[in-house]
Amino acid sequence: MGTLIGAIALIVAGIALAYTWKLHQELNTATRRLDRYNRALFDANDEIRHLREEMATTTAQLRVELKQASGDFSFQPEMTVREVQMLHPQAQQILAGFHLGGCSSCAIEPDDTLAKICAENELDVNALIGNLNLLLASSSERQPNAQLGQATISPMNAPQFVKIPNVELSL
């Protein structure tokens, strides 16, 4: 009788062991699938992020080109930081002079408007716009191109770079 109970217990233990092994194999398969799906999801999110960035850059380039084609060479509060940087190569130095985007503690988003970043940082938007427009005033003279109807920049009057410090020393 004891031998029969021992044999039954051994058979039940063997079945339980086989069932546990089968569940472990299914769990490993499910884990591999989940990892594969997570990698695919991460790659898709990364591609979406890249496409959004590309779209924002293209949109800003088109807005700047439209502004240049219309002859409206001025900075406006509704312009994004990305558009400002594309419109003039030294705009970032002016922004850094206002402690906007010059270091990690004053980082700004490239898709934020000038009005928004001035409001968030308690700055006078008109002072920032005025300083940015001074860059354009000191840049080259634009002459209309009769054939294309577009403004051109003569090489002799290329943008003049102005050195603007972005560090303030206080004693």
- From residue 132, how far is each of 64, 100, 140 by CA, in Å? 15, 13, 15
Of 124, 113, 133, the closest CA to residue 72 belongs to: 133
Based on the domain organization, do 100 and 167 belong to the same domain? yes
Based on the domain organization, do 41 and 54 belong to the same domain? yes
Q: Which of 48, 70, 92 is the last residue of a domain?
A: 70
What CA–CA distance (Å, rounded) separates 102 from 92? 8
Based on the domain organization, do 66 and 103 belong to the same domain? no
Please write the tens of the pLDDT for every residue from 82-91.
898 888 888 8
User: How would you label 57-68 residue by residue, b for 16+ Cβ within 10 Å and e otherwise?
Assistant: eeebeebbeebb
How many structural domains does the chain have? 2
Please write the tens of the pLDDT for every residue from 36-60.
999 999 999 999 999 999 999 999 8
Based on the domain organization, do 93 and 145 belong to the same domain? yes
pLDDT computed for residue 109 by the predictor:
86
The pLDDT profile of the chain, 171 residues, written as one tens digit per residue, is 789 999 999 999 999 999 999 999 999 999 999 999 999 999 999 999 999 999 999 998 998 888 888 887 788 899 998 898 888 888 888 888 888 876 766 778 888 899 999 998 888 899 899 888 888 877 644 434 433 444 444 444 344 455 555 566 566
Based on the domain organization, do 169 and 108 belong to the same domain? yes
